[in-house]
Amino acid sequence: MIKVGDRIPAVNLTRVTSEGNETVAADELFSGKKVVLFAVPGAFTPTCSNAHLPGYVVNADTFFDKGVDMIACLSVNDGAVMRAWQQAQNAEQITMLADGGAAFTRALGLELDTGDFGGIRSQRYAAIVDDGVVTMLNVEAPKAFEVSDAETLLKLL
């Protein structure tokens, strides 16, 4: 599993934009920026939609005021689902990253086999990435939502 001090891997992700989806290399996307990255097991799922993403939406300006260049939400979903979720949650300030085949999630060592729920998904986590290097990583225990929420990350900045 990725740890503090490790670099973000050179794996492609799909970044959702208002013009459509674009393929980006994760290492390049995170280069030269201070990024708060949080990952969820699935878009439109209860905890993800009711608490995790909304916390970052409500606090986006505070993150930016604290020097964060990008807030990124990642899920093992396709770009169309991530765009629909972004629109449904009024999350335009959040960079939505689709990891459809879970390549990035596997490269981080943060995959989770959810079986019939959806197969391979991401564990729930949040990280601070400074110029491509992980400087903080909080991975949730299974079925927990205690250390990857927006309020916890704000305290750590």
Question: Of 126, 130, 137, nearest to 32 (Cα)?
Answer: 130
For residue 87, give every residue at least 6 positions away whose Cβ sits within 8 Å of its Cβ, in sequence order, or none.
Answer: none
Residue with tokens 């972004």: 86
Rounded distance, CA 80 to CA 77, Å?
8
Is 48 annotated in the active site?
A: yes
Active-site option among 48, 76, 129, 134: 48
Report helix, strand or coil for 98: strand
- So which residues are the catalytic ones? 48
